Amino acid sequence: MRLSLKTRQVAGVTSIVGLAVVLLGGLYVSGIGRVRLEESRARGQFLANAIYHRAREVAAANPDAYAALRSDPGLRSILESSVYSQNVTYAAIVDAKDVVIAHSDAERVGQHLPAQPDLDTLLGEYPWRQLRAIYAEDGRTLEIQQPLLAGDVRFGTIRIGVSMLLTRADLYLALRPAVITALAALLAASLVAMMLAQSLLRPLHLIRSGLSRLGRGEFGVMLDLPRQDELGEIGGFFNVVSAQLSADRARLAGEKSTLESVVDRLEDAVAFFTPDGELLFANPAMLLLLPSNPGTGTLADLWLPEHPCRLLVEQTCADGQSHGPMSVRADDPAVVGWLTDGRPADGTAAAEAASPDGQLVMTHAIKDPAGRIVGVMLVSRDLGYLGEVQSTIQYSRKLAALSRLTAGVAHEIKNSLHAMIIHLELVKQELSGGPKGEAPVDRPAASTHVAVIASTLRRLDEMLQGLLKFTRPEELRLQSVTLASLVEALMPIVSAEAQKSGVDVTVDCPRDLPALRADPAMLQQALLNLALNACQAMPDGGRLRIAGRAVRDRQVEVVVEDTGAGIAPEHLDKVFNLYFTTRPGGSGIGLSMVYRTVQLHDGEIEVQSSPGKGTAFRVTLPRA
């Protein structure tokens, strides 16, 4: 049974007071009991002394002491008066064999009187033993004994009986006021404890009420508590925390609204689950794939046990790790069972929402700063839409590549047209006979200008043919090929070129690298162009390194690195432009062809160079 704090406080204070009352009462009872025993002993000893003096006088005056003691009226009077002494039950004189000589009860004369325990021995015991003798043994009688001597010879004993039963009754009368006082003290303690608890617990009740209001989502909860004590300080801390919490809640509410707005507009289907597998949130795209009105359903309410989404969420909840991506098609038995098992009512709509190309599902574990999992995010991507996006991205990349390749063509055409206009003006002047039409026509000069115009036109035609070659769709003959075999095939040409310039060639392409899906001829030509350019950049010798390695995201990286003169920083962003070259006699087509080949293979190429130290081209290609 759960007890309130007030009840426990009252019970605690009352218990402490009760324990103190019990301890003090025990000491008081033991003290009163000893006092009553000592009083009984004093009365018994006084009576024994009176009997002793009278018996001694009688025995000394008569030769038959026993007979004189039996018949002496004074002694009998003293013995009979003993019954009026408090707690004394009898007074007797016995001989050496415990036979009664004189007794307060005349009928007991001549009878055997067994000896009882000595009261003086009990008074020497511990208080709890004295109380035990008073309360634990009903009707027990203790004796006060005093020997009668004739000279040095003992001829009898005076025995005074003290009843513990009478002593107990006397003790009860003495304890009654103490018991009443103890009960009054307990009652007063309870009342004081209740008043104290009411006073002390009022701030706690206010704090609890404030916490309850915060728990219900109220903002700006403040407590008005006096600051004279620690509870007042706690109230002040509560107000500070409440203000901070209200500010944080307002900020989180705004962030939540923004997040929901962003997630609601995603093409991906997104849902959040608790670590127990309970649905917290699902965006509209995910709601199309869930049973109607899922609410805060559990995984068992949403999917069959074999459904991939349920399996991934359960795995992430169990091990705290992200899983996927996993491809799920609409004709998967687990998905078909989910869509047609009658759970949801609008199963047809859910089936239509499932893409015929399937879904790509994955889960991400959401953890707190301590590394504990606090939720699971499920993401489902439409493979059909994803394919469209990838096609759009590839098309955009190809347009960007074409723009980069042809960046220098417009400049070349403009220069050529400008040159032709100048020479046409000069031909016009020659044919008209000079500026004023008086000079004869200089046919050799006019022919020279015409020849320059024709040469420029041929150059323009070559440029346009080259541009058409770059823009014309290229048919790739894709197949699985290893990087090691491609490099091995071009090494005879590269070695011959390197030998002319004294270049050392190093090849590091392990044969166990993942295979590439590529057009062998085009990719081999691109690598050959990079290697030959590297050799031509080191006319005085150097080192050429061709290396390959597997990298993340299922890709293979090829590095062609030289120790030549390098490329100036202002030329790095132009090296792949069509017809751009810094080498005398260069065509400006080789690196453009490399760039175009890499783009056609859905790869990437980048260049790093330091003047005077060398250049490195890094080509990244997807695996087969």
pLDDT (average), residues 241-255? 79
Both tokens of 308, joined, read 């991939």
Q: What is the pLDDT of residue 407?
A: 56
Report the chain's mean pLDDT, rounded to a whole number: 79
CB 523 within 8 A of CB 603: no
**Which helix (H) or strand (E) covers residue 332, if one does?**
none
Confidence of residue 338 (pLDDT cuts 50, 70, 90): very low
Residues 6 or more apart whose CB falls under 8 angstroms from that of 612 comprise 565, 566
Q: How far is CA 327 from the centre of its chain?
A: 31
pLDDT (average), residues 220-236? 73
| Measured distance CA(474)–CA(401) in Å, rounded | 14
The domain covering 479-622 belongs, at the CATH homologous superfamily level, to Histidine kinase-like ATPase, C-terminal domain (3.30.565.10)
The identity of residue 249, as a single letter, is R
Q: 382 to each of 337, 356, 360, 506, 544, how far by Cα in Å?
A: 20, 9, 6, 46, 46
Q: What is the pLDDT of residue 296?
A: 59
The CATH class that applies to domain 266-381 reads alpha beta
Confidence of residue 270 (pLDDT cuts 50, 70, 90): confident
- Strand, coil or helix: 584: coil
Residue owning tokens 């209200």: 246
- Strand, coil or helix: 437: coil
Q: 479 phi and psi, to 5 degrees?
A: -160, 165
Q: What is the Rg, in whole angstroms, of the alpha carbon atoms belonging to the chain?
A: 59
| Measured distance CA(559)–CA(543) in Å, rounded | 13
Question: Looking at the predicted structure, is the pLDDT value of residue 284 above 50?
Answer: yes
341 burial (CB, 10 Å; 0-12 / 13-18 / 19+) is exposed
Look at 185 and 147; give whichever has higher pLDDT. Answer: 147
Q: Which residues pair with 504 in a beta bridge?
A: 543
What CATH number matches the domain at 5-181, 3.40.228.10, 3.90.1660.10, 3.30.450.20, 2.60.40.420?
Answer: 3.30.450.20
| Measured distance CA(67)–CA(72) in Å, rounded | 9
pLDDT (average), residues 235-250? 79
pLDDT tens-digit map of 475-487: 778 899 999 999 9
Q: Which residues pair with 620 in a beta bridge?
A: 557, 604
Q: 151 phi and psi, to 5 degrees?
A: 75, -120
pLDDT tens-digit map of 464-514: 766 666 665 567 788 999 999 999 988 988 898 898 889 999 999 999 999
Confidence of residue 350 (pLDDT cuts 50, 70, 90): very low
- Give me the half-sphere count of Cα atoms (radius 13 Å) on the Cβ side of residue 485: 11
pLDDT tens-digit map of 565-618: 888 888 888 887 766 777 765 666 778 888 888 888 888 999 999 888 899 999
Q: 348 to each of 297, 342, 367, 381, how far by Cα in Å?
A: 20, 10, 36, 20
Counting residues of the chain whose pLDDT is more than 90, the rounded percentage is 11
Q: Which residues pair with 364 in a beta bridge?
A: 377
Q: What is the pLDDT of residue 332?
A: 60
Confidence of residue 345 (pLDDT cuts 50, 70, 90): very low
Long-range contacts, 317-323 (Cβ 8 Å, 24+): 317/273, 317/275, 317/276, 317/277, 317/373, 317/376, 320/365, 320/367, 320/373, 321/365, 322/362, 322/363, 322/364, 322/365, 323/362, 323/363
Give the strand order in the sheet containing 100-103: 100-103, 88-94, 153-163, 141-150
